[in-house]
Amino acid sequence: MELESGTFGAIGNLQVSPRSIRAKELGTFNANVPLKERVGKDHPSFKQIPKFFVPPPKPEDKVRRLLHQEAHSLFLQRQADELLNLDDMNDLWKTLEKYVTETTRSRQQLVNLDDYLNVVAEVGVKCRKIMTVELFFELLVTSNFPDMLEIISIYNYMMRRVLLVQGSIALSFYDEIGQGYLNESDLESYITDIIPTLAQVSERLQPSFESFYVCTVVKKIFFFLDHLHLRRIRIRDIVSSGLLSQLLELHDTAILKDAAEIKTTNWFSVSAVLEVYENYLDLDRDHDGMLSRKELSEYGSGSLTTIFLDRAFEVCRTYGGEMDYRTFLDFYFAMEHRKTLPALHYIFRILDINQQGYLTAQTLRYFFDGIEERIKAVQAEEVNFQDLKDEIFDMIRPKDALKITVKDLINSGQGATVVSILIEFDKFLAYENREQNHQNV
């Protein structure tokens, strides 16, 4: 008995050997035996290992590099051509209105599953690929109606999806060699180029502030997506993080809101960015465009300890002992978002005075000296360090009873509290008086 390989053909991309398989071979087959022992070490397939990675052309190979870039651009253009365009979106809206199941007293146009399927059957192929039954039930979760959707919610979803894919493709155009990564310079170019298309930005942005706007947006994205300081971020991470969605929301002129509302809802609004920049200007008392150690001590409530600030200026990049706007942005984001993983990584690097990768009781004592200095200055009640140290270790519960790693801080869920009571006097006082504050509330 012989089984011909042609009976099985090809499985996916796996081509079955053209050699006939004998029944005797099948009977003695043992998957636990290494492949080399089954077929023999001299089998020709071991001399032809397939190439799994093709490195991009080197900068000096200009012809191949240009060819590579052109192929990458053509590939992205084909993807862009497959997206829904304005005509497709207009047709979708007309079809949704055609199959409205019910209109409420407040003129909300609703569609049930049956009519949704009628819409799907009538729209073009591009829409049909996205408008699945699964999408209907996914949107139904957030619907205010038990078994129907507002047609505007379907339309908005499709529009957001188009904008997001467009944004992803647009970002990829700035990745010249098609490796899926962008550095700060690449992202700066992208942000600068799309500003005219962001209605909520271009209508409020002064030309003199544009470079600061771009710098702030780029640094914010890198702060939250490059906490390991690789100096590049994956395009897929920008898209999946939701940051690109926030940025592209500023396209819409139909939802122009007052400045105060935009600032609280979108990190990349002109108002939100301007608030950060004005914070920097307020600290820059001598108006030289840089922050000295003394100027930064006024940050927030002015209660960051001298020891922490000294360490920050040792660890962070400075110019002649002063901090520029780019360096300040990382500091600002870390202070304002202490519960986030990137902020804890940032602050931990400052606290890790011996660069050991962990904090010890001695490290905590070192930074507590800064808190103790402020306690004496205001003649507040003294605090026993040993008690505080035990409280910190109890909150963190590190794997090693004598060492606290950044992973321990993050996993504990108490990382923001711990770093705050070590670096900021007001936060320390709030922690010490937490029971009394709770009773007052």
Phi and psi for 30 in degrees, rounded to 5? -135, 110
Q: Which of 14-23, 172-181, 197-206, 214-223 has the lowest mean pLDDT?
A: 14-23
Q: What mean pLDDT is predicted for residues 69-82?
A: 81
Q: Which of 123-127, 287-291, 419-423 has the lowest mean pLDDT?
A: 123-127
Q: Are strands 109-111 and 149-150 parallel, antiparallel or unpaired?
A: antiparallel
- The overall average pLDDT reported for the chain is 86
Distance from C-alpha of 425 to C-alpha of 297, rounded to nearest angstrom: 12
Distance from C-alpha of 162 to C-alpha of 439, rounded to nearest angstrom: 51
The length of the chain is: 441
**pTM of the predicted structure, to 2 decimals:** 0.75
Distance from C-alpha of 34 to C-alpha of 382, rounded to nearest angstrom: 69
Q: What mean pLDDT is predicted for residues 233-241?
A: 92
Confidence of residue 15 (pLDDT cuts 50, 70, 90): very low
Phi and psi for 149 in degrees, rounded to 5? -115, 150
Distance from C-alpha of 23 to C-alpha of 29, rounded to nearest angstrom: 10
pLDDT at 229 over 50: yes
Across 183-321, the runs of DSSP E, i.e. the strands, are: 233-234
Q: Which of 393, 311, 312, 322 is nearest to 359 (CA)?
A: 393
Q: Is 33 left (phi over 0), alpha (psi -120 to 50) or beta?
A: beta
pLDDT in tens, 180-216: 899 999 999 999 999 999 999 998 999 999 999 999 9
Distance from C-alpha of 268 to C-alpha of 270, rounded to nearest angstrom: 6
Distance from C-alpha of 400 to C-alpha of 361, rounded to nearest angstrom: 12
Distance from C-alpha of 191 to C-alpha of 196, rounded to nearest angstrom: 10
* Long-range Cβ pairs for the range 314-323 (8 Å, 24+): 315/349, 315/350, 316/350, 319/290, 320/290, 321/292, 321/293, 322/288, 322/290, 322/291, 322/292, 323/290, 323/291, 323/292, 323/296
Question: What pLDDT does 24 receive?
Answer: 59
Distance from C-alpha of 358 to C-alpha of 405, rounded to nearest angstrom: 4
Confidence of residue 12 (pLDDT cuts 50, 70, 90): very low
pLDDT in tens, 24-49: 555 666 666 665 565 566 666 666 76
Q: Which of 158-167, 402-411, 429-438 has the lowest mean pLDDT?
A: 429-438
Distance from C-alpha of 96 to C-alpha of 139, rounded to nearest angstrom: 15
pLDDT in tens, 388-397: 999 999 999 9
Q: Locate tokens 């109890």: which residue?
A: 394
Phi and psi for 382 in degrees, rounded to 5? -65, 150
In angstroms, what CA-CA distances link 258 with 160, 214, 263, 264, 269?
22, 22, 9, 11, 11
* Sequence-distant (≥ 6) Cβ neighbours of residue 208 within 8 angstroms: none
